[in-house]
Structure formats: C-alpha cells, structure tokens
Amino acid sequence: MCNRLSPEKAVIWDIIHSGRIYHDLADRLKASHFTHRPYRRIFRICETLYRSGGTVTPEAFDEVARSMGYRFDLRDRRALDRMLRQPPQARMVANVSRLAQAMIDLQSAGRADLEILAN
C-alpha cells in the first residue's frame, strides 16, 4: 500500500474504523471499486465482519482473514496495522462520502469529478 493519501485509502480507512461509508453505500460500494488488491481484500474482510453483525478489531480482522485464506506481504501488513491502530485523519473523514462516490463514478461511468479526487 502506498503512503500517499489516495481516495481508496481514505475510504478503506473509514470502513475499517467506523463502517459509516460502508453502511451508507452498502448497495453500491463493492470490492471491485478498489484497484489495489490489498484494499479489495480488506474490503471483503470488513464486509464479512459487518454482515455478521461484528465490528472490526485487529483480532476479528485477523481471524476472518485467515478463514478466507488471505495473507498480506510485510509492507501491506505494516500499513494495515497502522490503519487498524489509528483513526483516519480528520480531512479523510470529512470527505470520505465524496471520495467513495467518485470511486463508484469512475468504475460505472469511467470518469469522476476531479475536484473531489484532488482533495
């Protein structure tokens, strides 16, 4: 996972910590909207936890990841551990719904509002 603040990272970080955007857009936001493979895996793991009525904790996350056969390389695991430990930055939380909508628009229409992505 890259260190820059990407729309995908903002959305996945919100999904890990609050699930607000997942619950708001559950019928439209899918794993396929994420271009980075680890983010697709993280989305599927969180989706499994939320659908079962659980919350995302490091222990629950690891248990579901193991049951799904997912493994993360060292670099991706360090970034994931940081996202699990720390809440997302305020500017990410403030814009996450717009960023998620831009991701959906990019896949469905092939374009999105650049102002949203420039965050």
CATH number, position 65: 1.10.860.10
CB burial of residue 51 (10 Å; 0-12, 13-18, 19+): exposed
Tokens 């102002």, residue located: 115
- Domains identified in the chain, total number: 1
59 in any annotated domain: yes
Q: Write out pLDDT tens, residues 66-89.
A: 999 999 999 999 989 999 999 988
Any domain includes 1 = no
Task: Specify if 36 maps to a domain.
Answer: yes
pLDDT at 109 over 70: no
Instruction: Tell whether 56 is covered by a domain.
Output: yes
Regarding pTM above 0.85, the answer is no
pLDDT band at 103 (very low <50, low <70, confident <90, very high): confident
Q: Span 7-29, mean pLDDT?
A: 88
Residue 44 lies in a domain: yes
Computed over every residue of the chain, the mean pLDDT equals 85
CA-to-CA separations, 95 to 8, 13, 71, in angstroms, rounded: 12, 12, 30
Q: Note down the domain range covering 114.
A: 7-118
In this structure, is residue 2 part of a structural domain? Answer: no
Q: Is 13 contained in some domain?
A: yes
pLDDT reported for residue 84: 92
